[in-house]
Amino acid sequence: MDNRIMGMLLREVARLHLQMQRTSIACCSGTTSTQCFILTELGRSGTLTLAELGRRLGLDKGWTSRAVDSMARAGLLLKSPSDIDRRTINISLSPAGEARYAELNQALNEHSGRVMRWIPDGDQQTVHVALRLLSEALKAEAASVPTAEKQEGICDDGIELSCCEPC
């Protein structure tokens, strides 16, 4: 399969989706896109520690701390210190956060429903399978490049990163 076409398609889909999602969630409730990510991650995974949340979203811990803090002040999240490790804080959805999460999920699902309406019924199964494959592939690839910093172009599996001739 040709990398160029595949890459362009993947980029285009990601860009278009992000763009529409932004308007889609901006429209409903005052939720910004980062808040959206945090809510959906917590909604899916339940209680998380701050560092873990940041890692899952691929965000800096400082930024995550501030974002969580502002959402906690807005009453959407609960921060409670952990008993077993007093460095960490358990972050979970408050009832208001749960409500916002449900609301958000509905808006996003309606959005993807509208997009899906443009795809013929017979092809929807194809898209479903493909998205699942892509999701797995992206996660696998992300996991295989854990912290490339010190490894000079070779990751765990010996797949070379080919990342940067010194431009």
Q: Which residues bind its own copies (CB under 8 A)?
A: 1, 3-21, 24, 27-29, 37, 40, 44, 58, 103, 105, 107-119, 123-142, 159, 162-164, 167
Angle at 164 between CA 161 and CA 167, to 5 degrees: 170
* Among positions 13, 75, 80, 85, the unique one binding DNA when judged by CB under 7 A: 85
Q: How far apart are CA 163 and CA 167, in angstroms?
A: 10
* Among positions 21, 29, 65, 92, the unique one binding DNA when judged by CB under 7 A: 65
* Among positions 21, 29, 47, 88, the unique one binding DNA when judged by CB under 7 A: 88
In Å, how far are 39, 63, 105, 139, 160 from 111, measured between CA atoms?
A: 17, 28, 10, 24, 38
Binding map of DNA across residues 25-44, x = CB under 7 A, - = no contact: -------xxxx---------
Q: Tokens standing for 135?
A: 């999701």
